[in-house]
Amino acid sequence: MSEPALPPLLLIGCGKMGGAMLAGWLELGLPPETVVVEPNAAAVSAFAGRVRHVASIAEIPAGFAPAAIILATKPQEAPNALPALAHLAKPEVVFLSIMAGRTIGGMNAMLGGKARIIRAMPNTPAALRLGFTVACAGPGVSAEQRALSDRLLGAIGEAAWVEEEGLIDPVTAVSGGGPAYVFLLAEVMEQAALAQGLPADLARRMARATVAGSGALLGASTEDAAQLRRNVTSPKGTTERALAVLMREEAWPALMQEAIEAATARSRELAG
Ligand SMILES: NC(=O)C1=CN([C@@H]2O[C@H](COP(=O)(O)OP(=O)(O)OC[C@H]3O[C@@H](n4cnc5c(N)ncnc54)[C@H](O)[C@@H]3O)[C@@H](O)[C@H]2O)C=CC1
Ligand SMILES: O=C(O)[C@@H]1CCC=N1
């Protein structure tokens, strides 16, 4: 059975994440009445003719009744943008926020106190429909609104739901920011290759291909990451020597924990 057509949406902010999500929704068959609010015209040029673009919230066409309003500006923009959207907060409208840190309660206060809100945290592999999003529904969100949001998030990768909103802060630290840590791995591998005398172009290609290929292998495999690691590690071989450095208690295990703790704390600070 084919899925029903998507209803018109209102997207607030079409930057890196908003644009990646919009691309996924257009593939699902987004109606052209959809409105995108984005002050930077260049950010929406790739979507010209397929959605209606306005530069500010004040220019949203009067009477436009979206089923979902996606909040994809920076968290620091919320105090400007959300009060201007309060007139659209009705029981039949769900707000789907991807802003780091901003809590359902805090956003609801800015939206006039009666908004139905889902707080979600995606990540940038969404641009290839390989994202991972964790979402949490606030008070009053209907089963239909949750199903619509699940469909929207499923269009950009995998979606999971939690009941406890506080879990979104560590989710933001682990999967929201996670791609940055993986890209950093490619950067430092490249630097280490250079330090061993490899030519610059080869060092760059090797680091990129190794991180991308390993990610693809992990994605395609049913084996645990630990088993895939063991598959590379010959007893008394070379990898074992490298892992003995990286897996020292004070090295990657402790550093990753400290990094995730710091990002989780920052997410809580961004609540405002
Ligand atoms: N970049 C990432 O990896 C992730 C970002 N997020 C969240 O997504 C949100 C957006 O992040 P990015 O896309 O990275 O930032 P971005 O800066 O690329 O996009 C934000 C967009 O909002 C626009 N904007 C600013 N004021 C506006 C207003 N009043 N109305 C409408 N649009 C306005 C900006 O012109 C910009 O294009 C943030 O809240 C961030 O926490 C969540 C998960 C991952
Ligand atoms: O760094 C940030 O604040 C956002 C949230 C997760 C990824 N980027």
What confidence score (pLDDT) does residue 5 get? 83
The tens digit of pLDDT for each residue in 179-212 reads 999 999 999 999 999 999 999 999 999 999 999 9
**pLDDT greater than 60 at residue 241:** yes
DSSP H/E element including 20:
helix 16-28
CA distance 235 to 71: 51
Residue nearest to atom 17 of ligand 1 (CA): 15
ipTM higher than 0.95? yes
The tens digit of pLDDT for each residue in 8-47 reads 999 999 999 999 999 999 988 899 899 999 999 999 999 9
Instruction: List, in order of start, the domains of the chain with CATH numbers.
Output: 9-169 (3.40.50.720), 178-269 (1.10.3730.10)
Mean pLDDT of 213-227: 98
Count of residues making up the chain: 272
Q: How far is the CA of 98 from the centre of ligand 2 (A)?
A: 10
100 lines ligand 2 (CB under 6 A): yes
Residues near 147 by Cβ (< 8 Å), separated by ≥ 6? none
| Token code pair at residue 63 | 């009477």
Mean pLDDT for the chain overall: 96
Q: How far is the CA of 114 from the centre of ligand 1 (A)?
A: 24
- H helical segments located in 111-177: 143-154, 168-171
Mean pLDDT of 121-149: 96
For β-strands 94-97 and 35-37, DSSP reports them as: unpaired
Question: DSSP 3-state assignment of 52?
Answer: strand
What does pTM read for this prediction?
Answer: 0.96
What confidence score (pLDDT) does residue 205 get? 98
Which atom of ligand 2 lies nearest, measured to the CA of 180? Answer: 7
Question: DSSP 3-state assignment of 156?
Answer: coil
What confidence score (pLDDT) does residue 272 get? 66
**pLDDT greater than 90 at residue 1:** no
Tracing tokens 């066409």 back to the chain, one arrives at: 61
Which atom of ligand 2 lies nearest, measured to the CA of 267? Answer: 3
Residue nearest to atom 37 of ligand 1 (CA): 15
If one residue of 119, 172, 175, 181 were mutated to test the ligand 2 pocket, choosing by the most ligand atoms within 8 A of its CB, it would be: 172
Give the number of whichever ligand sits closest to the CA of residue 123.
1
The tens digit of pLDDT for each residue in 76-102 reads 999 999 999 999 999 999 999 999 999
4 pLDDT band, cuts 50/70/90, is confident
Q: How far is the CA of 56 from the centre of ligand 1 (A)?
A: 14
134 pLDDT band, cuts 50/70/90, is very high
Q: How many helices (H) and strands (E) does the chain have?
A: 11, 8
Contact by Cβ (8 Å): 120, 172: no
**pLDDT greater than 80 at residue 3:** no
CA distance 25 to 236: 50
| Token code pair at residue 69 | 């309003």
**pLDDT greater than 80 at residue 121:** yes
What confidence score (pLDDT) does residue 64 get? 95
* Residue 49 region by backbone torsions, left for phi larger than 0, else alpha for psi between -120 and 50, else beta: left
